[in-house]
Structure 1
């Protein structure tokens, strides 16, 4: 039985220059490849930029990204596309598709005549992939991951383009049911809507001795709270700092570590000072998964104070290390935090509500082994099986023996 040939398309994919960017897309593909039933090439476009001078920050990283590279056994192409100032949001789907077209032709000329395009993130990536699907007459699946369906459709033109792409796609995948409910609410065919949640790498994220990790990382105080993600308002690190300020009134030893980098760093530092908890808050910047593992294991509770989430990988990563979570009750998060051993959900996104939930969780007692067992129910196998079944039904390929 021949393997399915899948062209993976997304701007959210790691590179040698940005190894953590979109790692969740790479992880799902790598898990799918383990089945032995799929052959894949990856097209991960990056915006065009002229200079590799580091003073340009992420723009310089775009310029430094290789045109083609091998990552974990995957052949990854990084064609360039124009991301125009001011009009980039509406022009990106077209420039993205035009920039990738030559790369698609090159792969086909090399003999990779793929069976379907598997795109990740509905806008602009999914819309661009729908154009490529039309130009090359190939079936298409698009995976929605969060803000692509719970934020971007607030803009009229992008919403119309998303609706067009969804209608063209042979299948839409949501990492949580709430995202597929959006398309269902727009009247799209329910038979084409599929929920395939992200899994967690249970070998990469595993419990390490908590006391040893705290000693190695040089942290003390109890409880030790963790907040992980880009330093942007949507992730709610400011709410975590406010929660610490409330919790510390009852538990003076409480500490908070914020892992991530972004535009809100100065504002978060100022907030901690204004609330009188600057000495109890530590900002580490971005960290690789090997370091995240240690912090998850060291912490007592992970906080996720987001205003929007599709399927937040940090929740399962933390639970896989034995650390329960306290998270905002929004979008796909209730599908992740489904039992008491997983943690608590908070209906109101403010510091006082989070502090109350943290105190209740700690007072009830934390069974780190039970939290780990809960996470073990989220392996990647069900997602892999679901993708294979969907891809074969779309392409008409027979099931693998």
Structure 2
């Protein structure tokens, strides 16, 4: 049988025209897979239902503005609506997602797209919903775990029980790092169904640009520049980067911290910088499109990732691909990325003093930027793409030679 593998990607974590960076790591892996030419994919990415797109309703209105169907980078994406109920939404979300998505999936099948495999991303609620869909439709299922789904949500009894059921139902589970698959192994899931497929990095999008030129274009001086990139929430640890600045400034008085991202903690973080007296050395850049981040990575001396939980953080390899070494918390999958060979430094405990000491260690013995880039080049997407092709081909009953 000579045809491409047909996959249905199912996840609430997928970019859209209103939120173009929402779940971009899921889209990136899919785009790399599609480059193989061996796979055909449609995406069902449900969004919460809300009755009005009036901007006065804030974040909810943005979800309402998402089109019901769109094409992104040549990929057909459907956005069915699902009810997200206050207070009980966490436990009802899997069933609500599955019921809302089923008509959209049936529509794709009626249009002639009879897929071979359900490729779900994020174990809860998405993976549980996908397990329901796969059962109703009689299709094999793969669920990819990405971080907080397995290192945070299992502390809640009902979600944990539902994830256990989905993990037993799934024909395959994929983890972006070994630590995530160790969780499922601890649940008694057959190791033959557990697969580690790390995220790669787009070495064309993320490449070193001349540091001095980037600093000039971004309006920066020649002082040591540190970046902290990500959503402005507690888990990402931007507050620790700010709290480390007083100690760092004692040894590097001209150092500057640039925080790239936006989110609910913005004003609190600004107040923290003022209270510590470092507001003149901390700048809040705001959200930056993914394709423009290479300018900041290339300008920076180092990236800080002080997260409390991460599966496999894309920013680590993105920064290293641009020549910037990394200082990061020693958690979950991060030690699989930031090894001694990377030129970066891991720190623990997750405290400002430990972060400051790690930054001082790095700045005292900076690796060559070309060596950092060379290390990142070992993390192309090719290996992950080939692993997906082998897995999805087996689940679909198609060999690689027949695709």
SS, match of residue 342 in structure 2 = coil
SS, match of residue 41 in structure 2 = strand
Distance in 2 (alpha carbons) for counterparts of 1:177 and 1:341: 19
> Match for residue 235 of structure 2?
234
The Cα shift of 1:290 comes to 3.0
> Match for residue 313 of structure 2?
312
Show structure 2 runs of 5+ residues with no match: none
CA contact (8 A) 1:221 1:254 kept: no
Alpha-carbon deviations, 1:56-75, whole Å to 9, x = none? 22211111111111111100
CA contact (8 A) 1:341 1:367 kept: no
Distance in 1 (alpha carbons) for counterparts of 2:394 and 2:292: 40
> Match for residue 326 of structure 2?
325
Alignment size in residue pairs: 401
RMSD (CA atoms)? 0.9
SS, match of residue 248 in structure 1 = helix
Distance in 1 (alpha carbons) for counterparts of 2:141 and 2:342: 39
CA contact (8 A) 1:322 1:370 kept: yes
> Match for residue 285 of structure 1?
286
> Match for residue 212 of structure 2?
211
The Cα shift of 1:342 comes to 3.5
CA contact (8 A) 2:46 2:101 kept: yes
SS, match of residue 191 in structure 1 = helix
Distance in 2 (alpha carbons) for counterparts of 1:98 and 1:273: 48
Distance in 2 (alpha carbons) for counterparts of 1:226 and 1:57: 28
- For 1:242-253, what aligned pairs fall within 5 Å after superposition? 242-253=243-254
1:364 aligns with 2:365: yes
SS, match of residue 203 in structure 1 = coil
CA contact (8 A) 1:33 1:39 kept: yes
TM-score (norm 1): 0.99
Show structure 1 runs of 5+ residues with no match: none
> Match for residue 187 of structure 2?
186
TM-score (norm 2): 0.98
Distance in 1 (alpha carbons) for counterparts of 2:34 and 2:3: 14
Alpha-carbon deviations, 1:6-58, whole Å to 9, x = none? 00000000111111111111110011011111111000000001111112222
- For 1:94-109, what aligned pairs fall within 5 Å after superposition? 94-109=95-110
Alpha-carbon deviations, 1:340-383, whole Å to 9, x = none? 43400002111111111111112113200000000000000000
The Cα shift of 1:221 comes to 4.8
CA contact (8 A) 2:215 2:222 kept: no
Distance in 1 (alpha carbons) for counterparts of 2:346 and 2:127: 31
Distance in 1 (alpha carbons) for counterparts of 2:70 and 2:394: 31
SS, match of residue 370 in structure 2 = helix
Distance in 1 (alpha carbons) for counterparts of 2:380 and 2:112: 34
> Match for residue 62 of structure 2?
61
The Cα shift of 1:339 comes to 2.5
The Cα shift of 1:185 comes to 0.7
Displacement over 6 Å in runs of 4+: none
> Match for residue 165 of structure 1?
166
User: Which range moved further: 357-366 or 35-44?
Assistant: 357-366
CA contact (8 A) 2:237 2:306 kept: yes
Distance in 2 (alpha carbons) for counterparts of 1:291 and 1:26: 17
Alpha-carbon deviations, 1:162-198, whole Å to 9, x = none? 0100100000000000000000011111110000000
Distance in 1 (alpha carbons) for counterparts of 2:197 and 2:110: 32
> Match for residue 41 of structure 1?
42
- For 1:2-401, what aligned pairs fall within 5 Å after superposition? 2-400=3-401
